[in-house]
Structure 1
Amino acid sequence: MTTTVVGPAPVTAVTKRRRTIAHAGLLAVLVLIVVFASVRTDAFLSTNNLLNVLRQVSVVAVIAAGLTLLMTAGGMDFSLGGNVAVTTAVAAQMFAHGQSTWLTLLASIALATTIGLVNGVVVTFTKVAPFVATLATATLLDGVALLIINGLSVSIDDQLAGLGNGKTLGLPNLVFVAALVLLVIALIMRYTTFGRDAFAIGGNEDVARLSGINVARDKLILYGFAGALAGLAGIMLLSRLGASSPGTGGLQLQLTAVAAVVIGGTSLAGGKGTVFGTVLGVLLLGLVANVLNLLQISSYYQTISVGAVLLIAAIANTLQRRRA
C-alpha cells in the first residue's frame, strides 16, 4: 500500500493578505503611539531618546529572532532570559579575573548554546512539554546566575564599551548586530531548506517526519541556535550596562521577547511566523516602555502593559488560527 505524504501548506494569496493586514495593523498602532508621544512630550523625538530606544530594543530583538524561528517549528523556550542572566554573570566574572575578550565571548556563547541544546534534548527525547521543561530551566538558571555573581554587581569597566556605547554612521553598534541577526534569520526562514523544514515541523510534526525530515536533529539545532542567540544577547546587554547584577536578564526579559514574537504574528502552535512581524512587535513594546518612562508613569505599569499586550496577542493569535 502506498502512503501519500503531504508537505507544508503553500503560502496562498489569502495567507499573504492576512499577513499584510496584520502588519498594517501593527504599523498603524506604532504610528499612533509616535503621534501621541510626540504631542505629550518634546523629549520623545529627540535624537538621544530615539537612539536610546534602539539600543534597548536591540537586545530583545536578538532573543526574539531566535524565538521566532523556534516557535515557527512549534517549539518554545522560556529559559532564554535565564540564559542571558547566566551568560552575563559568567562573562562578567571572566572579565573580572583578567580573561581576554575573545576567550570570554567564545566561552559565554558556547555555554549559552549548550544550555539551549540541553533544553532541546529534554524536549525532544523525553517528550516533556516545552513550556514545562524550559520554565523549570529558567528558574534553575536564575538561581545559578545569582550564585555566580554571589548576589552582587560585578563590573566589567570599559571592556565592551565599543559594542555597548559605540556608534557607526550615527547609529548604535548594537543596532547593527541586531539587524544582522534578524536578516540572517529572515533569509533562513525564507530561502533555505532548513527554514522550510521548520515551518513543516510546526505545521505537523508527524507529517514532517514521514516526509523524510529529521525532526529530532532539526529541533536540537533550533534549541541550540536559540540558546546561542540568547548568549549573544547577554553579551550585548552586558556591554550596554557595564556590569552583571541581580535581576539582569531573567523572566521579565523573556516575557518581553515572547510578547514581541506573538504580537508579530508568530503562531503559538507553530507553522507560521515572520521576522518582519517580530521587528514590529519589538519596536511596539520598546516604544510603549519608553513613552511610559517619559511620562513618568510608574514602572509597575510597564510590567502590566507587557502582560496585557501578551494576553491580547495570544487571544488574537488563537482566534485567527481557528478562523484559518
Structure 2
Amino acid sequence: MTDPPRRRFTPRGVPHAGLIAVLAVVVVFTAVRSDTFATDRNILNILGQISVNAVLAAGLTLLMTAGGMDFSMGSNVAVTAAVAARLIAHGHATPYAVVVALLLGTAIGLVNGLVVTFTNVAPFVVTLASATLLDGVALLVHDGNTLSVGQHLFTFGNDKVLGVPYLLVVAVLVLLATGLAMRFTVFGRDAFAIGGNEHVARLSGIDVTARKLTLYGLTGLLSGLAGVMLLARLGSSSPGSTAGLSLQLAVVAAVVIGGTSLAGGHGTVIGTALGLVLLGVVANALNLLDFSSNYQPVSVGAVLLVAAVANEMHKARSARR
C-alpha cells in the first residue's frame, strides 16, 4: 500500500503571495537605503498615517464585494470633517459635533444607495457625481477659511494607548469587525452572493434592496468616522485638504491591490490591509529617500493599474479551470 502523494508547497498556495512579495521587496530595499525606516517610531508613523484610509477601505471592501462602488467616500470625509470643525469652532460640544458628522456621513451614503438602487444608474456615475457635489459643499462650509478645533480632539488624534495611537486602534477594530462580518455572518455571505450574481441572490430570498441600502449607509457612516479621525489628526479642516478625490483614489487602490474584485463577488479584508500597508510604505519610502512628492500620485496610479490588470488576469485563469 503506497502513501498518498504529498502536496507540494508552492507560493501560489499562499493567499496574496504576490502582494506580500512586493511588500517585502519594498521594505527590504528601503530599510537598506534608510537607517530610520525600520525604527519603531517610523513604523507607528506609517500605520498612523494609513488609519483614516483603513476605515474607508474596510467599508469599500464590503461594498465592492457586493458589486457596489462609492467614489464619494473621500469627499464625504471632506464634508463631515468641515461640518464638525465648524460646529466645534462655533462653540458646540465636541460629542455633539462628532454625532452630527457620523449622522451626516450616513445620510450621504444612504442617498447614494437610494439613487443607485432605485434608478439603476451605474454606481460609478452616481457616486462620482456625488463626489463632485460634496467637494463643492465642503468649499461652501469652509467659505475660504481654515476651521481650527484647537485642543478639542487632540487626545483622540495624537495620544496613544499602550504605545499604540488611538486612531490606529480604531482602524484595526473596524478592519477586524468587517473581516469577521464578511466571514461569519449572514450579512457578509449575502454581500458575496449579491456580488456574484444579483439576480440569483434575489431569487434565493435575499432582500437585495435592503442589503444595498445598508451597505451604502455603512460606507457613509465609516466616511463620517474617517472625517472625525482626519480632523482629530490634523487639528483643523481647510479648503483643498487631503480629503476628497485624491484620498478616495488611494483607498480604491488599496482595496483593488488587495484582491477585491471590481466586478464583485470576491474580497478580503486581509488583502485590503496589505494593500494599505504597501501604499503607506511606498509613500514613506519616497519621503525618506528624498524623492519629489510628485512621485506619490504617480506610484499610486501605477500600482492601481498593475493591480487591476492582475485581477482581470487572475479572474480569467480562474474561469478556465
Q: TM-score range by the shorter chain?
A: over 0.9
Instruction: Give the superposition deviation at 1:22.
Output: 4.7
- The one-letter amino acid paired with 2:45 is N
Equivalent position amino acid for 1:293 in 2 = N
SS at structure 2 position matched to 1:49: helix
Q: Does 1:74 align with 2:67?
A: yes
Q: Name the counterpart of 1:241.
A: 234
Judged with a 3 Å threshold, the aligned counterparts in structure 2 of structure 1 residues 167 and 177 are, in CA distance, closer, same or farther, namely: same
Q: Distance in 2 between matches of 1:207 and 1:142?
A: 37
Find the counterpart in structure 1 of residue 123 from structure 2: 130
1:179-190 to structure 2, matched below 5 A, reads: 179-190=172-183
Q: Which amino acid aligns with 2:58?
A: A
Q: Deviations over 1:110-167 (max 9, x none)?
A: 0000000000001000000000110000011011001101122111111111111000
Match of 1:97 in 2: 90
The Cα shift of 1:48 comes to 2.3
Specify the code of the residue in structure 2 equivalent to 1:229: L
Q: Is 1:83 the counterpart of 2:76 in the alignment?
A: yes
2:280 match: 286
Partner of 1:5: none
Residue matched to 2:146: 153
Instruction: Give 3-state SS (helix, strand or coil) of 2:294's partner.
Output: helix
Which ranges in structure 2 are unaligned for 5 or more consecutive residues? 1-9
Report what 1:56 is aligned to. Answer: 49
Instruction: Say whether residues 1:171 and 2:157 are aligned partners.
Output: no
- Alpha-carbon distance between aligned partners in 1 of 2:156 and 2:245, rounded to the nearest angstrom: 24
Q: Any unmatched runs of 5+ in structure 1?
A: 1-16
| Aligned counterpart, 1:305 | 299
Q: So what's the TM-score if we normalise by structure 1?
A: 0.93
CA–CA distance in 2 between the matches of 1:38 and 1:18? 24
**Greater Cα shift, 68-77 or 163-172:** 163-172
Aligned residues: 308
SS at match of 1:43: coil
How far apart, CA to CA, are the structure 2 residues paired with 1:61 and 1:137? 21
Runs in 1 of length 4+ with deviation above 2 angstroms? 17-22
The alpha carbon displacement at 1:319 in A equals 1.4
Asked if 1:211 corresponds to 2:211, the answer is no
Alpha-carbon offset, residue 19 of structure 1? 8.2
How far 1:47 moved relative to its partner?
2.6
1:272-323 per-position Cα deviation (integer Å, ceiling 9, x unaligned):
0000000000000000001101112111110011011111111111111122
Residue 261 of structure 1 is matched in structure 2 by 255
Aligned to 2:4: none
